[in-house]
Chains A and B, each alone.
Chain A
Amino acid sequence: MLIPHPLLGPRDAGEFTYLGDARLLERPDGLGPDAPAAFHDYVYLRDNIAGVQRELWFHEQGDRSWLVVTRDTLTHEILKAELARDVVLARKEAGK
């Protein structure tokens, strides 16, 4: 499986470490009133989608960047790869 790294081009998936659903970027507020429930949800529960999902891959044997990869979990087809940093910054921009 090749992951189209936005800076380095196509790289073998073996260079990456897999973390899981890209929703893990949305870390809940640890001081919020519902923090225990929110962190149970964040740490343990997953949508576990059969189909297209966005997920976090770490280029551990490469440039050590985190990517958000859009992938079909039924066919392993990779549709898109972005730097996780760009995804988070874009979300912050939109939130402003």
Chain B
Amino acid sequence: MRFSGFRVFKEAVTGHKGWKPLWRNPEPKPAYDIVIVGGGGHGLATAYYLAKVFGQARVALLERGWLGSGNVGRNTTIIRSNYLLPGNQPFYEFSMTLWEGLEQDFNLNAMVSQRGILNLIHTDAQRDAYRRRGNAMILSGADAVLLNRDQVWAMAPFLNFDNARFPIKGGLLQPRAGTARHDGVAWGFARGADLAGVDIIQNCEVTGFRIEEGRVKGVETSRGYIGAGKVGVAVAGSSSRVMSKAGMRLPIESHGLQAFVTEGLKPTIPGVITFGAGHFYVSQSDKGGLVFGGDIETYKSYAQRGGLPVLEDVVEGGMALMPMIGRARLLRAWGGVADMSMDGSPIIDRTPVDGLYFNGGWSYGGFKATPASGYCFAHLLATDTPHETAKAMRLDRFERGYVIDEKGVGASPNLH
């Protein structure tokens, strides 16, 4: 079943009787070539690219709950490639190019909207840092524009330009960045993977790995044993819990991250605006709600909810940046569990167990990476070599001293 304007019209005049479920609900087979653990954005994208690009025919994806019930449905939907370090930026730019062709590729409207991201500048030092970042972005093939105060004013006159502590002096704009509909992304990858022959098995929790002589043979699940030539784990948020079943300790700590949305308002905010100095960022959804967030919780948590101190900190940032936000009523707040790695950057790599591969540590920035994460993890699973843009994202980089620390705060997962 393909989606098209013609199809929507035809269904409209025939009573919408022709729509079918977007994916099958198959029983697990005894064995597969590749088993993906985790039916979030990254797991679904991995299964999709494994089947579609790398020609793998016997692939299963196991999900403990329902598809997209974790962080892919809990983020603030921002897509961007405005990183600094050479270990990260080419990967995120690869992801950005995949986003640009994604909807045509998997034939579902994921509402990818390239409305730009603006990082605000308040000091000369910050302008220098953003100029350097913009140059790093351009070197990787991405786009970046340094704006002065008047240019930011033209875009967003409602900001508080004369805040005594953080007056706005300019901004770094990435015009190609934007937002996407997060649930649509999960559904698109799931449907695409299913059409390409992947068995998507929901309500199937992995309870253990069968490992013989240092090699993985399959996974024990709540629906019985499933044999596997290779197993790829993509369960960010629960990485430590799942990998501990294979006897591994990870350079990861789990922290809660909250997000908030207001009631629907008329179009106000032109793109995504970040106020790094005040720990606040905001965009406006297509329904009109202002979607915003800030820092992670300071302490470790698996609770999928946040505390009031961070809420207070975020809304203070919001009031400082755009005082008019005080007139909007908060509609919802929610939380997810972020896999905070020890340098704030992700891991896509083999593990010490043969045939067992790991994808995680996405910290609070996993959504934008979804297509490239899936593509690079599929590349690694299918070819046993890392994708060109993910070569630095090694599990053993901490031991070797090759951390990718964008923020430069060291092994403090609550500060990245």
Measuring CB to CB, which residues of chain A are less than 8 angstroms from any residue of chain B? 1, 13-14, 17-18, 20, 37, 40-41, 43-50, 53, 55, 57, 73-76
Q: How far is the CA of A69 from the CA of B244 in the complex (A)?
A: 23
A13 to B312: give the CA distance in the assembly, Å.
14
CB of B19 within 8 A of chain A?
no
A-B contact pairs, 17 of them (CB 8 A): A17-B298, A18-B414, A37-B399, A40-B398, A41-B249, A43-B398, A44-B399, A44-B411, A46-B240, A46-B250, A48-B253, A50-B238, A50-B240, A55-B299, A73-B301, A73-B302, A76-B303
A47: which B residues are within 8 A, CB to CB? Answer: 240, 244, 249
A49 / chain B contacts, CB cutoff of 8 Å: 240
- Is B302 a contact partner of A50 (Cβ separation < 8 A)? yes
**B249, A45: Cβ atoms closer than 8 Å:** yes
**Which of A18, A48, A74 is the one whose CB lies under 8 Å from B250?**
A48
Least CB distance from A82 to B in Å reads 17
Can you name the residue of chain A whose Cβ is closest to the Cβ of B398?
A44
Distance from B205 Cβ to chain A, minimum over Cβ atoms (Å): 14
Given A14-B309, A73-B254, answer yes or no on A48-B411 (Cβ-Cβ < 8 Å): no
Q: How far is the CA of A74 from the CA of B241 in the complex (A)?
A: 12
The answer to whether B300 touches A73 (Cβ under 8 A) is: yes
Complex-state Cα separation, A44 to B411, whole angstroms: 6
Q: State which of B238, B298, B302, B303 has its C-beta within 8 Å of the C-beta of A18.
A: B298
B301-A76 in contact (CB<8A): yes
Does B201 count as interface, using CB distance less than 8 angstroms? no
Is B173 located at the chain interface by the 8 A CB criterion?
no
Is residue B251 within 8 Å, beta carbon to beta carbon, of the partner chain? yes
A38 to chain B, nearest CB (A): 11
B252 located at the interface, meaning its Cβ lies under 8 Å from any Cβ of chain A in the complex: yes
Contacts of B399 in A (CB 8 A): 37, 40, 44
B167 to chain A, nearest CB (A): 28
Closest Cβ of chain A to B302, distance in Å, is 5
Instruction: Kindly state the separation between the CA atoms of A75 and B305 in the bound complex, as whole angstroms.
Output: 10
Measured between alpha carbons, how far is A44 from B340 in the docked complex, in Å? Answer: 12
The reply to whether B253 and A20 contact each other, CB–CB distance below 8 Å, is yes
In-complex Cβ contact of B252 among A13, A41, A48, A57 (8 A): A48
Do the beta carbons of A46 and B307 come within 8 Å of each other? Answer: no
Residues of A within 8 A of B204 (CB): none
* B45 interfacial by beta-carbon distance below 8 Å: no
Verify A46–B249 contact, CB threshold 8 A.
Answer: yes
Contact (A74, B252) CB under 8 Å given A18-B414, A40-B398, A43-B411? no
Q: In the complex the two chains form, what is the Cα distance from A18 to B297 in whole Å?
A: 10
A48-B249, A73-B300 are known; give 9 further A-B pairs, CB within 8 A.
A20-B253, A41-B249, A46-B251, A47-B240, A48-B241, A48-B254, A53-B300, A75-B303, A76-B303
B392 on interface, CB distance cutoff 8 Å: no
> Does B342 belong to the interface (CB within 8 Å)?
yes
Closest to B400 in A: A40
Which chain B positions have C-beta within 8 A of A1? 307
* Beta-carbon contact of A20 and B303 below 8 Å: no
A13 to B411, CA, bound (A): 22
Contact: A20 with B251, CB < 8 Å? no
Q: Among B241, B250, B252, which residue has its beta carbon within 8 angstroms of that of A50? A: B241
CA distance A18 to B399 in the complex (A): 24
Encode B288-316 as 1/0 by CB contact (under 8 A) with A: 00000000001111110001010000000
Q: Which residues of A contact B240 (CB under 8 A)?
A: 46-50
Q: Is the CB of B254 within 8 A of A50?
A: yes
**Roughly how many angstroms separate A73 CA and B254 CA in the complex, as a whole number?**
9
CB-nearest residue of chain B relative to A41? B249
Shortest C-beta distance, B247 to chain A (Å), equals: 12
Decide: B241 and A46 in contact? CB cutoff 8 A. no
What's the minimum C-beta distance from B297 to chain A, rounded to whole angstroms?
A: 9
Using a CB-CB cutoff of 8 Å, which residues 203-257 of chain B contact chain A? 238, 240-241, 244, 249-254
User: Smallest distance from the beta carbon of B299 to chain A beta carbons, Å?
Assistant: 4
Contacts of B244 in A (CB 8 A): 47
Residues of chain A lying within 8 A (CB to CB) of residue B249: 41, 45-48
Q: 0/1 per residue, B392-416, Cβ < 8 Å to A?
A: 0000001100000000000101100
Judge whether B300 and A44 touch: CB under 8 Å: no
Q: Which of A20, A41, A45, A75 contacts B300 (CB 8 A)?
A: A20
User: CA A27 – CA B309 in complex, angstroms?
Assistant: 32
A41 to B411, CA, bound (A): 12
Q: Are A18 and B300 in contact (CB under 8 A)?
A: yes
B342 contacts which of A17, A37, A44, A74 (Cβ < 8 Å)?
Answer: A44
How long is the Cα–Cα vector from A40 to B342 in the complex, in angstroms?
11
What is the CA–CA distance of A46 and B412 in the complex, to the nearest angstrom? 12
- Closest Cβ of chain B to A41, distance in Å, is 8
Q: Once the chains are docked, how many angstroms separate the CA of A37 from the CA of B303?
A: 32
How long is the Cα–Cα vector from A74 to B337 in the complex, in angstroms? Answer: 11
